[in-house]
Amino acid sequence: VTRSVDSAQSLIERVRAGHVPSIARMISRIESGSDGVVEQVAELYRLGGDARIVGITGPPGAGKSTLLTSLVRELRARNKTVGIIAIDPSSPFSGGSILGDRIRMGELYHDPDVYIRSMATRGALGGLTRATTDAVAVLDAAGKDVVLVETVGVGQDEVDIVRACHTTVVVSAPGMGDDVQAVKAGILEIADIHVVNKADRPDANRTIRELKTMLKDAGELSTGGWKIPVLATVAEDGKGVDELVDALERHYDHLVASGEMEERERTMAAHRLKTIIQNVALDRIEDPSIGPDFDDAVEDVRLRKRAPFTVALDLLEGSV
């Protein structure tokens, strides 16, 4: 027992030192729910809190992964260490390819100050999983200056990413068709920074104008003293990426100076707690060794013997 405590301790120390294989092992332990991982994550969580967490979201194919690669290059040029969690889009909406990303980000895998990890998307209740947010906490505790979280902006993830990050960057691209209007409408209010990627395309200016008009109409060009920038990038050759890093730094300074940082971190903590409570409650309710039988409860509701709300409360009480 002493030995496993020792090795658990040294794993945490190696993670803290930014040791790449140890970070990888720690995240694998999280993914597989290994013994003692809850305590390890708890310790790492207490040790973290210094990283800037930046969410990158947007419709499939907008160029998020390519932009991420250029963004990391620019951050490294400014001596920042970087962690990346790419939420593996198993959704049918996305053409996201891990293999493609690996080739695209290939050079980054050789830099010991960059750590990249793809993780499966969605828990039982949708959105970012506990494993994903725990992995962010690991990279934070590992001393990464910036942790980037890439998600495909369709549905619940869009809202979730805001509740897990200090700054949210929404990436769109020109010529994505009418449905991009709906996507934009859904993600308009979550962006701290808008990026129109593929600015090398001739129709990029129109997209930028449209986006600015939409923001203006929604009265959201500026919130809490922060003027939401609409930036143009060509992720493939890095054009506009230094302006994006400047904007990220300005936003961070704004959060600190305005006191909004505290508010965001409160939102992040509250959301994490709520998500965990939901997951734990559901796990317990569905575990027949703990509470009343879930399948029996389902039958009672199906046969209308008892009302869903009553049954749900009974299950919750029986599970504690």
Ligand X SMILES: Nc1nc2c(ncn2[C@@H]2O[C@H](COP(=O)(O)OP(=O)(O)OP(=O)(O)O)[C@@H](O)[C@H]2O)c(=O)[nH]1
Instruction: Please name which of 187, 194, 221, 237 lies closest in space to residue 73, comparing C-alpha atoms.
Output: 237
Query: Residue numbers of the site for Mg ion (CB under 5 A)?
Result: 64-65, 96
Nearer to ligand X, 26 or 211 (CB): 211
Shortest Cβ 70–ligand X spacing (Å) = 9
Any idea what DSSP says for residue 59? S
Give the C-alpha separation, 53 to 285, whole Å.
33
Nearer to ligand X (CB atom), residue 1 or residue 99: 99
Q: Phi and psi dihedrals of 219, rounded to 5?
A: 65, 30
Separation of CA 271 from chain center = 13
- Angstrom distance (rounded) from CA 57 to CA 167: 11
Of the candidate residues 20, 31, 47, 61, the single one contacting ligand X (CB under 6 A)? 61
**What, of Mg ion, ligand X, none, does residue 195 touch, CB below 5 to 8 Å by kind?**
none
Query: Do 214 and 230 form a contact (C-beta atoms < 8 A)?
Result: no
- Using the minimum distance from each CB to Mg ion, give the nearer residue, 134 or 150: 150
Given 148, 232, 234, 241, the residue binding ligand X (CB under 6 A):
234
Helix (H) and strand (E) counts in the chain: 13, 9
Among 81, 94, 121, 275, binds ligand X (CB under 6 A): 94
What is the footprint of ligand X within residues 186-215 (CB under 6 A)?
197-198, 200-201
The answer to whether residue 235 forms part of the interface with ligand X (CB under 6 A) is: yes
**Is 106 an interacting residue with respect to ligand X (CB under 6 A)?**
no
Quote the tokens at residue 266. Answer: 């409160």
The residues that touch ligand X, with contacts defined as CB under 6 A, are 60-66, 89, 94-96, 100, 152, 197-198, 200-201, 234-236
